[in-house]
Amino acid sequence: MRLSYDSEGDVLNVIFDERLRRAQKIAYELRDGFILYLAVDSMKPIQLTVVNYRRLSEFPTFLFSGWKKLKPAERKKLFPILVSPTLSPFLKLDPQTGYGYVSKSVMLDMFPLAA
């Protein structure tokens, strides 16, 4: 796993598996600027991009409007991935309401020191 943060643009990129970077991807925009990329063949997470990460991490909850726009079959397929050990350290989502939050972990708080 590799984390990168652009403090000027407030963009967090989490690369889950470098080996999958060249795999054919499908993108799920869970809300504006909150995009999860999965490998088409395995449905394994490749990358999570969060625009306005710091701002979003200050909210107790917010609406994942893109989640609400997905078809029920897509939500059913995607939800186990969102609650997997790979993604759960970064976000929490209530599948019924579409509300959730970005986790603000100690590791992510180190970005101002590293940036």
Using a cut of 0.75, tell me whether the model's pTM lies above it. yes
Distance of CA 63 to the CA centre of its chain: 14
Place of tokens 């080996």: 19
List the alpha helices (DSSP H) in the chain: 53-58, 65-69, 72-82, 106-109, 111-114
pLDDT band at 103 (very low <50, low <70, confident <90, very high): confident
Q: What is the pLDDT of residues 12-52, one digit of tens each?
A: 999 999 989 889 999 999 999 999 999 999 999 999 999 99
Edge-to-edge strand ranges of the sheet holding 99-102: 62-63, 99-102, 91-93
Edge-to-edge strand ranges of the sheet holding 11-15: 2-6, 11-15, 45-51, 34-39, 25-31
Q: What is the pLDDT of residues 59-98, one digit of tens each?
A: 899 999 999 999 999 999 999 999 999 999 889 999 999 9
